[in-house]
A = this chain, B = another copy of it.
Amino acid sequence: VLVDVALTPRDLAGVDLRERCALVVDVLRASTSIVAALDHGCPRVIPVATPAEARARARTLDGTVLLGGERDGERIPGFDLGNSPLEYTAGRVSGRPVVLTTTNGTRALLAAQAAPETGVAAFVNADAAAAWAASRHRDLVVVCAGERDGLALEDVAAAGLVVERVARLLARVRLTDAAIVARVTGERYGVDLDRLRADAAWARRLAGKGYEADLAACLTLATSTLVPWMVDGALVPFDNDAARPSRRASA
């Protein structure tokens, strides 16, 4: 199994997704919020590119649907939810689908849909995402959503932790040079995720906007056993422990 990492959205242009399994990483905060939503009973998260598209899509769904997302880190005017994982509580999202649009995360998800199997990874579900990827029996590419077209340190670190775990789970893996760079970064920060608060530019920016509690929620390892994965254009929960789509998904 070949394991590759697209360190930035630009690098994704060079990756042939057709035979691959893809994992999209946007630690701060879309990936973490999507995991939180599904963990709290949201049946599906539908990623779309723009706020206008989100409103249009919501109109095609029944009245339980929620609008979520951000631009420049802030909730979009008129939306029900922003992009904080702390907002995606059972009280808000249980039983309700969410249409989500964010600056980097949903863009990467829509691009990665070209893969036959696409999942979502963050620090909070790194172990589960690695187990899911290892069970696919396909070459893997981990896609870092990054910041605009550039690199986001926290995404590379989380991608690297997933790579390191996949390499431990599978006997024969071959890492590309980019996957090795990610793994080295993941190993460095995995032992102390709090260092990302100082080192990662977007973490500093979020702290400056008053989102310290979000940083605590996002820079935490393996609190979820769930992997959001794409089925018919929506992210639904996959639970490795159940070795099949979780009951929440099929309920």
A interface residues, Cβ below 8 angstroms from B: 7-8, 10-11, 13-14, 147, 149-153, 156, 176-178, 180-181, 184-185, 188, 199-202
| Interface contact B181-A14, CB-CB below 8 Å | no
Do A184 and B188 contact each other (CB < 8 Å), given the known contacts A10-B13, A11-B8, A14-B150? yes
What are 30 A-B pairs with beta-carbon distances under 8 A? A7-B7, A7-B151, A8-B10, A10-B10, A10-B11, A10-B13, A10-B14, A11-B150, A14-B150, A147-B177, A150-B176, A150-B177, A150-B178, A151-B177, A151-B178, A151-B181, A152-B177, A153-B177, A153-B180, A153-B181, A156-B181, A177-B200, A177-B201, A177-B202, A181-B185, A184-B184, A184-B185, A184-B188, A185-B185, A188-B188
Q: Which residues of B contact A11 (CB under 8 A)?
A: 8, 10, 150-151
- Main SS of chain A's interface residues? helix
A199 to B202, CA, bound (A): 30
A176-B201, A201-B176 known; A181 vs B150 contact (CB < 8 Å)? no
Which residues of B sit under 8 angstroms from A7, Cβ to Cβ? 7-8, 151, 181
Q: Report whether A14 and B177 are in contact in the complex, using a CB–CB cutoff of 8 Å.
A: no
Contacts of A185 in B (CB 8 A): 181, 184-185
Which of A13, A151, A188 has the largest count of B CB atoms less than 10 A from its CB? A151
> In the complex, how many angstroms separate the beta carbon of A164 from the nearest chain B beta carbon?
13
Contact of A149 (CB < 8 Å), options: B14, B149, B181: B14
Q: Determine the chain B residues whose CB is within 8 A of the CB of A8 once the complex forms.
A: 7, 10-11
